[in-house]
Amino acid sequence: MVLHQTKAWRNKSSRIEDRRNTCNQLLINQLVGVYKKNPSTPGLHINCNLTALIIKRLKTRSTAEVADTFNVSQRQVQRKRKRFEETGDVFDKPRSDRPRKKAAWEDRLLVRKSKASPFSTAAELHQAWSPHVPMSTRTICRILSQNGLHGRISAQKPALNKRQLKKRVAFAKAHSLLQGWTLEKWQKVDFSDESSVEIHHSRRKYCRRPTGARMDPRFTQKTVKFGGGKIMVWGYIQYGGVRNICRVEGIINSLKYQEVLATSYIPNHKRGQILQQDGSRSHTSISTSKFLKAKKIKVLQDWPA
């Protein structure tokens, strides 16, 4: 009975040892299997995991056998053993990076130049910053990105003068919630405008700006409407969505605008709705004002455009 238990215990221990060896071998094959398939491949870069396996194998095998198992040189195995005996760990020591070409104060100078000229490219900034030092544009971009200046496509905003800006502020104050313009009242406004499908349009322009400054006037590209060949359309939207859109032939004058309203807006107009229109001459002319008054269409006054 005792002999039978002893044999069973030995068999169990043998199976456990076989499983452990199998797991170790699978890990080794996973790390260096590609080198086993191709003996001409250069030696494997030894990381901390592989170093730990090498140290463990050196307890029962020679340096030559371990080097052959992991497909590395015996000199590498000897260095790993010596380092482990001296330090007691398998991790590499921290290494110093390549020295910087520029000092920190020079990076700050580059940042100031980029802020002063946000539409300059990396090559242009390099010429203005330090042309005598060879440096790639990627390095310039990396320095600027580390300081919060990322390359972005500049937003486009209408070119407004001071008078137009004051009118917009005055309109916003006159039509605020304090003046009785609630959400329900704004839902009754029909927003209308002309637009054109242009053949030539303003191209996007690249600039470098800090995060959160997309609409800053310094980083926006000024645009002008209606340039090049185009197709003119007129339409309006309500609270429920787009209501109508129509193509307009030729130039929109007062008579043409009244014709568009008569065919595309008045048939769908409901009592209590307010028409919004910009300050174009065809919209604010005497004949158009009389036409809207005769049709009993209320117009949103003082629209700042």
* pLDDT tens, residue by residue, 280-296: 888 989 999 999 999 89
The mean predicted confidence, pLDDT, of the chain is 79
Under a CB-based contact definition with an 8 Å cutoff, are residues 35 and 41 in contact? yes
Task: Give me the pLDDT at residue 274, please.
Answer: 92
Under a CB-based contact definition with an 8 Å cutoff, are residues 235 and 246 in contact? yes
Which pLDDT tens digit goes with each residue over 92-142? 666 676 777 777 888 888 889 899 888 888 888 888 877 777 778 888 888
For residue 154, the number of C-alpha atoms closer than 13 Å in the C-beta half-sphere is 22
15 or 250: which carries more pLDDT confidence? 250
Task: Give me the pLDDT at residue 110, please.
Answer: 87
* Mean pLDDT of the region 186-193: 91
- Give CA–CA dist 293/111, Å, rounded: 58
* Nearest of 113, 136, 127, 105 to residue 208 by alpha carbon: 113
Res 33 pLDDT > 50: no
227, 243, 180, 171 alpha-carbon torsion, rounded to 10°: 10
- Minimum mean pLDDT range among 10-24, 113-127, 167-181, 190-204: 10-24
Task: Give me the pLDDT at residue 43, please.
Answer: 42
Task: Give me the pLDDT at residue 18, please.
Answer: 60
Which pLDDT tens digit goes with each residue over 226-255? 555 678 889 998 888 777 888 888 888 899
* Mean pLDDT of the region 180-196: 90
User: Angle, nearest 10°, between helix axes 122-129 and 104-116?
Assistant: 120
CA 287 from centroid of its chain's CA atoms: 50
* Mean pLDDT of the region 259-275: 89
Task: Give me the pLDDT at residue 3, please.
Answer: 45
* Mean pLDDT of the region 266-290: 89
Res 298 pLDDT > 50: yes
Task: Give me the pLDDT at residue 224, please.
Answer: 65
The pLDDT confidence band at residue 12, using thresholds 50, 70 and 90, is low
The pLDDT confidence band at residue 2, using thresholds 50, 70 and 90, is very low
Res 40 pLDDT > 60: no
- Minimum mean pLDDT range among 14-18, 66-70, 169-173, 284-288: 14-18
Task: Give me the pLDDT at residue 77, please.
Answer: 87
- pTM equals 0.48
DSSP 8-state assignment for residue 246 = E
Residue in the structure block whose two tokens are 């071998």: 25
